[in-house]
């Protein structure tokens, strides 16, 4: 069975804040979502929302 874990992150780069979602499957990490945001709070909110949405969709599919 695949052990799938989603991680929500916000990161500061020279050109602004980014929301990121990383999927880890059996220890292998892959970035599955990235979006430039207005500020840190927006980046955190969007990353959290994306993880929640992906987990809900995963439950519906499986």
Structure tokens at 1: 């069975």
Measured from the Cβ of residue 51, the count of other Cβ atoms closer than 10 Å reads 21
Q: What percent of the chain has pLDDT over 70?
A: 94
For residue 61, the model assigns a pLDDT of 64
Q: Name the residue ranges covered by the structural domains of the chain.
A: 4-61
pLDDT at 51: 95
* Cα separation, 4 vs 32, whole angstroms: 13
Report CA torsion sign: 26, 29, 34, 36.
Answer: positive
Mark the ranges of the chain whose per-residue pLDDT is less than 70.
1, 61-62
């Amino acid at each position: 069975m695949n052990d799938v874990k989603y991680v929500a992150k916000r990161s500061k780069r020279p050109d602004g804040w980014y929301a990121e979602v990383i999927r880890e499957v059996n220890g292998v990490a892959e970035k599955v979502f990235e979006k430039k945001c207005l500020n840190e709070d927006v980046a955190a909110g969007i990353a959290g929302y994306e993880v929640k949405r992906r987990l809900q969709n995963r439950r519906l599919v499986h």
